[in-house]
Amino acid sequence: MTETADLVSEIETFEEKLALARESITKRFIGQTRVVDLTLTALLCGGHGLLIGLPGLGKTRLVETLSTVMGLDGKRVQFTPDLMPADILGSEVLETDADGRRAFRFLEGPVFCQLLMADEINRASPRTQSALLQAMQERSVSVGGETRALPAPFHVLATQNPIEQEGTYPLPEAQLDRFLVQIDVRYPDRETEKAILLATTGAEEAEATQVFTAAELLAAQMLLRKMPVGDSVVEMILDLVRAFRPEDPSALPEVVADVSWGPGPRAAQALMLAVRAEAMLNGRLAPNAEDVAAMAAPVLRHRMNLTFAARARGQRLDDVIARGVARITGQEAAA
């Protein structure tokens, strides 16, 4: 009983800090609270986020603000076609000391940080994109025959422009699967855009303040995994993920007809963590069906693909997900 009370107390304490973090972030990234929550979800789960949106919607500003608020060492890399793996990971250089002795010294690349912003990740070649695979999955990099651990915590927030695709290299499915959530950053509504204009075109701009430290974020990630999940929610997650696999006996009819490949076990793991984060961000002590419905699209949309015939008919993946979520959870899927 005492352990349960302690867990409840810890969760409530972190929920209060999360509320302060959200408030601090929205001073600089105005409105779009869903985008903020999904980005915080990625960090709370110890995962990575893929932000999809047009230029000028504040994606870079959001990541910079998160770095400040969460107390993380952040770095930014602008991905371009000529970017090489060594530009991200680092390289060994030959140096000569005062006595004339030569030795190799490793110069760390920007990946050696706690929050890496990979800006326009699909503009780099597949060779350079793959340099991040080991870092994202294993939190380490191998250079010169030696494996080096990355700082903890380590998160990648990558951005993509969904419109301008000429000269880009689409991320392979294996790398997309490494992102815990896909976060769609859309145009703000009129009132939000008015608030942005007034806040960012004056003589002074609001500053974000630090709320978390790296150690506190790590503690929050451990606490999240201790949050209880009811059997009904676990079964719902399994039903949902398996329903979107076209070859599974329990697949939904429209999935069999329109989906070429569906989410794997990593999607179920991601959804299990994400629903806990959603509950914590909303002040609850355990996730429910509403949390599953809210997190289904961000977790699943980059882990599925429509058939050519479905795309030719104008079918949208988000619509397929929304119908499946409503059928299985009884809740309306979040946008």
CATH (domain of 243): 1.10.8.80
163 plus 297 within the same structural domain: no
For a pLDDT cut of 70, what percent of the chain falls above it? 96
Give the integer Cα–Cα distance in Å for 63 and 59: 6
210 plus 283 within the same structural domain: no
How many structural domains comprise the chain? 2
Q: Is residue 82, in this structure, part of any structural domain at all? A: yes
Last residue of a domain, one of 198, 226, 254: 226
pLDDT at 101: 79
pLDDT at 234: 94
Q: Is residue 31, in this structure, part of any structural domain at all? A: yes
295 plus 221 within the same structural domain: no
The three-state secondary structure class of 214 is helix
41 plus 123 within the same structural domain: yes
Q: Is residue 326, in this structure, part of any structural domain at all? A: yes
Would you say 165 and 123 are in contact if contact means Cβ atoms under 8 Å apart? no
pLDDT at 166: 63
At 40, list the tokens: 């915080």
185 plus 212 within the same structural domain: yes
Q: Is residue 313, in this structure, part of any structural domain at all? A: yes
Last residue of a domain, one of 226, 244, 261: 226
135 plus 214 within the same structural domain: yes
136 plus 52 within the same structural domain: yes
pLDDT at 42: 94
Q: Is residue 335, in this structure, part of any structural domain at all? A: no
DSSP H helices in the chain: 2-25, 33-44, 59-69, 85-89, 126-138, 173-176, 190-200, 214-226, 231-243, 253-258, 265-281, 289-300, 308-312, 317-329
pLDDT at 40: 93
Q: Is residue 217, in this structure, part of any structural domain at all? A: yes
Instruction: Look up the domain containing 116 and give its range.
Output: 1-226
14 plus 81 within the same structural domain: yes
pLDDT tens string, the chain, 335 residues long: the values are: 566 777 788 888 888 888 899 888 888 888 788 999 999 999 999 999 999 988 888 888 888 899 999 999 999 999 888 888 888 888 878 777 777 777 777 788 899 999 999 988 888 888 888 888 888 888 888 887 788 889 989 999 999 887 766 667 788 888 888 999 999 988 888 888 888 888 888 777 778 888 999 999 999 999 999 888 999 999 999 999 999 999 988 888 888 888 998 899 999 999 999 999 999 998 888 899 999 999 999 999 999 989 998 888 888 988 999 999 998 887 766 65
pLDDT at 112: 92
Last residue of a domain, one of 226, 259, 290: 226
CATH (domain of 161): 3.40.50.300
pLDDT at 146: 82
The three-state secondary structure class of 160 is strand
219 plus 76 within the same structural domain: yes
222 plus 95 within the same structural domain: yes
Give the integer Cα–Cα distance in Å for 4 and 98: 61
Distances (CA, A) of 85 to 105, 130, 212, 305: 17, 8, 31, 28
249 plus 157 within the same structural domain: no
Q: For 260-281, b where at least 16 C-beta lie within 10 A, e where not — what string?
A: eebbeeebbbbbbbbbbbbbbb
169 plus 237 within the same structural domain: no
At 131, list the tokens: 């340099």
